[in-house]
Amino acid sequence: MTAATDENEPLLNKEDYYFLEGPKSRQYEFIFALEVFWEFIKGIRALHFVGPSVTVFGSARFREGHKYYELSRELGAKIARSGLTVMTGGGPGLMEAANRGVFEAGGKSVGCNIKLPKEQHPNPYMQKWVEIKFFFVRKVLLVKYSYAFVVMPGGAGTMDELFETLTLIQTATIHDFPIVVMGKEFYAPLTDMLNKMVAEKTIAEEDLQLLKFTDDPQEAVQHIRDYITTNYRITAKRKPIWWLLEKG
């Protein structure tokens, strides 16, 4: 595309429009809306009876033997022994490790997997999982069924999940659920950045209280348990309705 050289020149000429994707057809948009609706219905039907859950976010790229994989695995086991379900993105890496820890401890392990051409595939340590096409649908489901969130080391996707969840809590869009961030050394630059945000007044100092930084799985689980016990009353699980073909 030819760049405009003068502020009075138009940004685009007629030929340039062929290189830009404009609005889709009405039929395309309608089909897309139906597809999104179906993805939500599919996810809700699959995950409606799994809670109360703790969602664990983390990288797909750390493998067995890495310190963060083993940390996530230990965390999953401790959450399972506390009586809570662990939900992850359902993929490999630290998601697999958390699901694996739960699975090995005899707890309930579920996932909400994303369809990607590479890197992401369902791990074998889940009793129940659903595969979702759209990232935004998946993130809604991961947040919807959880009482708490644990953020393990990760990349852009994990940062997206952390800050979207933090923003939802900060703006009172969802209840003030606890967020535990594990990997203090890994997240040291993030801690510095958050402190800079406070100094620059782009966030409030009390916003930092929404995050608990620790490397101790037992401390993480105790923080979650204390918070849930103090602030929430977990109601009895609803039973599946047979004529809706629901499964518990």
Residue 230 clears pLDDT 70, i.e. is over it: yes
**pLDDT score of 52:** 84
pLDDT in tens, 112-169: 998 876 656 889 999 999 999 999 999 999 999 898 999 999 999 999 999 999 999 9
Confidence of residue 1 (pLDDT cuts 50, 70, 90): very low
Give pLDDT, residue 119: 57
- For the domain covering 27-233, report its CATH number: 3.40.50.450
The per-residue DSSP string of 136-166 comes to HHHHHHHHHTEEEEEE-S--HHHHHHHHHHH
Confidence of residue 49 (pLDDT cuts 50, 70, 90): confident
Q: What is the C-alpha separation between 95 and 102, in angstroms, rounded?
A: 11
Tokens found for residue 97: 């490790």
Provide the whole-model pTM: 0.87
End-to-end Cα, the chain, rounded Å: 55
- Checking if the pLDDT of 247 tops 60, the result is yes
Ordered DSSP codes for the chain? -PPP-STTS-S--TTGGGGS--PPPHHHHHHHHHHHHHHHHHHHHHHTTS-SEEEEE--S---TTSHHHHHHHHHHHHHHHTT-EEEE-SSSTHHHHHHHHHHHTT--EEEEEE--SSS----S--SEEEEES-HHHHHHHHHHTEEEEEE-S--HHHHHHHHHHHHHHHTTSS----EEEE-TTTTHHHHHHHHHHHHTTSS-GGGGGGEEEES-HHHHHHHHHHHHHHH--PPPPPPPPGGGT---
Closest CA to 86 of 139, 131, 140, 150: 150
Contact 149, 75 (CB under 8 A): no
Across 189-206, average pLDDT: 95
* Least-confidence region, from 89-93, 190-194, 240-244: 240-244
**Rounded CA gap, 16 and 69, in Å?**
48
Domain ranges of the chain: 27-233
Report which residue type is found at 133. K
Q: In whole angstroms, what is the distance from residue 125 CA to residue 40 CA?
A: 23
